[in-house]
């Protein structure tokens, strides 16, 4: 299976979010909040580790929250 559109682990999603300049804000009840204030607009991604591995629909939703395409989200894994 190629790296493109394969299920992602929580560790990989955290790496992607760091590479997209997100910072961890808080964890409440198993939901991690990752935020990026610059560049505008403000973005917030919720990471629920209990949903791991993250399949296509969840990855698509996290990419949408991050303001990037799904391909850009996967590419940020190697950035």
- pLDDT tens for each residue of the chain, 79 residues long: 456 688 999 999 999 999 999 999 988 888 999 999 988 899 999 999 888 999 999 999 999 999 999 999 999 998 7
How many whole angstroms separate alpha carbon 64 and alpha carbon 57? 11
pLDDT of residue 3: 60
Choose the CATH number for 10-75 among 3.30.920, 1.10.287, 2.60.40, 3.40.50. 3.30.920
pLDDT of residue 51: 87
Tokens of 33: 């909040």
CA 31 vs CA 3, 28, 49, 50, 59: distances in Å:
25, 5, 7, 9, 15
pLDDT of residue 1: 41
């Amino acid at each position: 299976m190629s790296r493109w559109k394969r299920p992602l682990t929580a560790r990989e999603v955290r790496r992607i979010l760091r590479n997209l300049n997100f910072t961890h804000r808080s964890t409440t009840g198993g939901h991690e909040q990752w935020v990026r204030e610059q560049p505008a607009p403000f973005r917030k991604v919720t990471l629920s580790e209990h949903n791991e591995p993250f399949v296509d629909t969840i990855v698509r939703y996290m990419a949408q929250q991050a303001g990037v395409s799904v391909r850009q989200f996967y590419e940020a894994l190697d950035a």
